[in-house]
Structure 1
Amino acid sequence: MLDLEFSTGDLARTRFAYSPLWECVAALRTLRRPAAHVLHRPWLAVAAPRIAELRSSGRIALLDALVPPPPRALPSFLAPTPAVPSPDLDDELAALRAVPAAEVRAELNQTRGVPIASLRELYARPSSGLDRLAREIRAFWEAALAEDWPRVRALLEADVLYRAREQTDGGPARLLNALDPAIRWRGDTLSIRLVHHSAAHRLDGRGVVLVPSAFAWPRVLVKTGPVWPVTVRYPTRGVGLLWTADRPAAPDALAGVLGATRAMLLTALTSPASTTELARRLRLSPGAVSQQLTALRAAGLVTARRSGRYVLYTRTAVAEAFLTAAGT
């Protein structure tokens, strides 16, 4: 059990962020034990051959060496804690390249040592080694995650929006207790049930960064240390539906009133989503989706809010009532 001891200042500084770089690292780790990640089998079936090709060509040798199978620890510098709520991969790779040499060496000494040639090179020349690592992560991203990132990002954004509502409705205690069954808030302490780890940790006013993750499932993972803010990575809501069929069937009764496309859009909005994500899922043009969402918004059936670079659409109570009456 890891106990994180909070002060009032720590609660005030606790924030949410998601991380495409972390999803790369966690996605690669699922390949170490595929049987433990059954929810991601559809992704693994497509991505595994592409990743095998990267490995055979030596294009991710350093990344591979730094990502051990669970429960061995990952070096903290491999996925720097996001500085903003919704970074893109370029932002995070820039942060990776900027990790101080002393931190790289300290983490290698602590987590893996340097028995492998690629790690010896990283240890001896951290700056050039981190640049190589960033290139390898980019190669992994393009081969294994870029195509699916819109749906993963939409899921993570929906989770953050849901958590914000939880905090508004019930305060920090309700928010923290709802993150995962392995996480519990008691008094001024956040207790996290971890495998092979037991400690108490004072936050000292730095707060916690809460990171929803698709590929962390089914575990909660925590990063602590003197350099990075404490980071709690937890399985995002709805991860079980991440790889299910995209195009929903709208009820005939609803389609008869609203039209097939608008009814399908409402049915698809089980969680907040952007125009781009809806267009990809429903195999429609972004322009067509935008036009229909504008009409639904004017009718009071959807609302829109900005989240970072994206506008997320959500069904209203009126739309929920329509769907319930139509039998969805």
Structure 2
Amino acid sequence: MLRYTISDSDLSAVRFALSPLNELGLSLRALSYPARFPAHLSWVRTVAESTAPTDLAILRALVDERLWVPDFLTPVPVSPLTRFDDEIATLATLADDLVERDLDAVHTSRPALLRGRPAAVRARIVEAVGAYWQTSFQPSWSRMRGVLDADIVFRGRAISRTGLAGMFAGLSPAVAFDGRYVTLCHRDPRVRIVETGGAGLTLIPSLFTLRMSSPVHDSAPPSVVYPARGAATLLEPALPTAGTALVDLLGRTRATLLEALHEPTSSTELARRLGITTSAVNQHLRVMHDAGLLTRARHGRSVLYLTSSVGAALAPLSAQ
């Protein structure tokens, strides 16, 4: 149990914020222990298939069996406008002693991949996290962020209707607020009481927490990560509807892909949305590209596909 003691000044400083790195860090729990995140299984399968084995091993090594993640991967954001590039730059320059402290707080005995000189371990983590972001998060981050932004708007309206107590009651059954204390009931057997001391309290919606999450260290800025409304709809495959004429011409999968590619999208994101393997999507995309229906361009480690002028001319057939 973690209990934040809230002063009057802290009540006026309750705020909502988003962190791309925090969201990525929390997702490592589903990636490492998928059986404990059944709603995320389709997403995990697609992401695991598209992540390099060496990066995947490092990412999974960062999480322990308690589902703890180092605090440096779950930073408390100061704004709803936090950018991943800024957060990864901060991580790349994090002091050696903080890297060591956060890793040791999670692991009693560190996995081999997280041992060695702190600078080398940090560089290894930064490289794996950066690659993971580009292949698995960046292509769909705008959609993820839309769900998180919508949740923040909903919570703001809840405050205006029912006050802070009503808003806190709606975050999660594991979160309680009695006017002076915010109590977080989680599996950590320790009883921790933290004075917020005028630092305020940051509330962070997430697609990758089941009940709620909080920092490992008491010295971290006070924060509560809670499940965002609408997370399930985003994590479930989202199939666009292709019309009969286009399906008759291309087949349902390729027609659906063409309908989905009015915006630049990676094969990883397409596979997640359609509920099929990335390799299967890539086979279809290669054929469609060779036929002139798609264009493609590399963006970091990802290849983004988009309908060509020929593909765009065919796509309206779906509306007939």
Question: How far apart in 1 are the matches of 2:59 and 2:48?
Answer: 15
After superposition, residues 1-328 of structure 1 pair within 5 angstroms as 1-51=1-51, 54-55=52-53, 58-69=54-65, 71-113=66-108, 115-121=110-116, 124-126=117-119, 128-197=120-189, 198-216=191-209, 218-223=210-215, 225=217, 227-244=219-236, 246=238
Structure 2: gaps spanning 5 or more residues: 242-257, 265-320
The Cα of 1:8 is off from its aligned counterpart by: 0.9
Structure 1: gaps spanning 5 or more residues: 250-279, 287-328
State whether residues 82 and 92 of structure 1, in contact with CA within 8 Å, keep that contact through their aligned partners in structure 2. no
Any idea what the Cα deviations from partners look like across 1:207-256, whole Å, max 9, x if unmatched?
Answer: 2111100011x12111153542022111101112113464788xxxxxxx
- Residue 232 of structure 1 aligns to a residue in which SS? strand
Question: How far apart in 1 are the matches of 2:148 and 2:157?
Answer: 15
- Residue 4 of structure 1 aligns to a residue in which SS? strand
Any idea what the Cα deviations from partners look like across 1:258-287, whole Å, max 9, x if unmatched?
Answer: xxxxxxxxxxxxxxxxxxxxxx9976569x
Report the equivalent of 2:316.
Answer: none
* Aligned residue type for 1:120: R
- Residue 69 of structure 2 aligns to a residue in which SS? coil
Q: TM-score, normalised by structure 2?
A: 0.69
State whether residues 147 and 231 of structure 2, in contact with CA within 8 Å, keep that contact through their aligned partners in structure 1. yes
The Cα of 1:28 is off from its aligned counterpart by: 2.2
Question: Measured at CA, do residues 147 and 96 of structure 1 come closer, stay the same or move farther in structure 2, by a change above 3 Å?
Answer: same
Report the equivalent of 1:253.
Answer: none
> For this pair of structures, how many residues does the alignment match?
247
RMSD: 2.7
- Residue 235 of structure 2 aligns to a residue in which SS? coil
Question: How far apart in 2 are the matches of 1:182 and 1:219?
Answer: 6
Question: How far apart in 2 are the matches of 1:187 and 1:205?
Answer: 15
Q: TM-score, normalised by structure 1?
A: 0.67
* Aligned residue type for 2:175: I
* Aligned residue type for 1:75: P
* Aligned residue type for 1:76: D
Question: Measured at CA, do residues 34 and 118 of structure 1 come closer, stay the same or move farther in structure 2, by a change above 3 Å?
Answer: closer
- Residue 172 of structure 1 aligns to a residue in which SS? helix
State whether residues 80 and 96 of structure 1, in contact with CA within 8 Å, keep that contact through their aligned partners in structure 2. no
Question: Measured at CA, do residues 107 and 282 of structure 1 come closer, stay the same or move farther in structure 2, by a change above 3 Å?
Answer: closer
* Aligned residue type for 2:105: Q
